[in-house]
Amino acid sequence: MIEKPASAILGRLRVWWSRGGVGRAAVLSGFAVLLLAFFLTYSSRIRTSSDSSLVDLTLLSNAEENGALCLDGSPPGYHLQRGSGRGSDSWLLHLEGGGWCNTLEKCSERQRTPLGSSHYMNQESFVGILSSNPLSNPDFYNWNKVMIRYCDGASFSGDVESDHQNGTKIFFRGMHIWEAVISELLTKGLINAKQAFLTGCSAGGLATFIHCDDFRALLPEEVIVKCLSDGGFFLDEEDISGKRTIKSFYNDVIRLQNVEKHLLKDCLETEPAKCFFPEKIIKSIKTPFFILNSAYDSWQISNVLVPEDSDPENSWARCKLDIHDCDSTQIELLQGFRMALLNILGDYQHNKNIGMFINSCFVHCQTYGSPWHSPISPRINNKTVAEAVGDWYFNRRDVKEIDCAYPCNPTCDEMESI
């Protein structure tokens, strides 16, 4: 196995922090907080390069008046970089990820982090799909680009009016955040867009499924509007112990943050969490949609297929860190997980509104950083993620890229070895 340099390890730690979910908040205590802060600061410096630019944070105006507040009651924020030239009337919005919180305790812990408070948010480095470098982002580099920060813990869909829960002051206002931020962006030029693209990573990718048609409805009919979810197609699958850990977790999130009122009504009678999975939501989406996912999504393997409680002997520890360290039995289970995803997506192979890029790399989000478009980006049929997405968005070709099974794609190893 190729040893990864410090920059790659730090990068993965930062991705783990910014995109993670179940159980992560439990580590935030004492020395772990200081160590994590060091890693985040150092890795953010590494990520800032000639291909990226630091973009200031804009706090939402009239946040309190609109009831649009982060978990701690602070105003939510976003980063806006204006477009230029031919891209001046095109808008790309990216919903930040960061998992979910399913208990008051875990949501309260988020209040002391950027995932629950704008007090801890700083400038953001725009790379990948947000980059202004045409070499790194050939189709969207000169668009108006927005990163909407994630500070509600329920994929921008919580909706609890009270600010006190069992004696804890906390705000579950994700739906209000979504509505208020989009409303403000409309006044800043989004309403005059000729084309718009709503994207999101991880929990933000799930939010893109939830809000795609709502976004379409807010813009004039003549505007070209499409959506993309990156690493957001979470599967409703059993873990290795036979439990449906992720579904149970989602049910807790839905109950805690009153998400149910904004979910599809036709499946709420059985189990609310079913309506929180993309395989249900996508059936009703009318707006053109692109699904970007790894068939071996590293976050899902660690939290959906093999959550901590399902592996008391810790026999999956090495495999969950690096797919190259999985034994033959583990690989067989991973292949089954891949097939579960492909079986669901098979229903959309002939749907012209749906685009896909499903590779076999051991990654989570791929729109941010080098996986998007670089010499070491993963490829399918010699196309990078960025090239495939651009081809689909601009109708250059029908894009249904489904990779062969692990370990067949050598470009995955190139990307993972940095």
The C-alpha R_g of the chain, in whole angstroms, comes to 20
What single letter denotes the amino acid at residue 211?
A: H
Residue 263 near residue 254 (C-beta atoms within 8 A): yes
- CA 104, CA 109: separation in Å to the nearest integer? 9
Residue 95 near residue 150 (C-beta atoms within 8 A): yes
Catalytic residue among 364, 370, 373, 374: 364
The H or E element spanning position 402 is: strand 400-402
Beta pairing partners, 144: 91
- CA 365, CA 293: separation in Å to the nearest integer? 8
Q: Which of 387, 382, 389 is nearest to 403 (CA)?
A: 382
235: tokens are 């599967």
402: tokens are 């489904």
Catalytic residue among 72, 139, 236, 297: 297
| Contact residues for 382 (Cβ-Cβ < 8 A; gap 6+) | none
- CA 307, CA 82: separation in Å to the nearest integer? 41
Q: How far from the centroid of its chain's Cα atoms is residue 6's Cα?
A: 24
351: tokens are 């749907």
Asked if 373 is an active-site residue, the reply is no
* Angle between helix 203-218 and 174-187 (nearest 10): 50
Asked if 7 is an active-site residue, the reply is no
- CA 385, CA 399: separation in Å to the nearest integer? 11
Catalytic residue among 132, 202, 374, 377: 202
Asked if 324 is an active-site residue, the reply is no
- CA 276, CA 250: separation in Å to the nearest integer? 7
The H or E element spanning position 379 is: strand 379-380
Please give the positions annotated as active site: 202, 297, 364
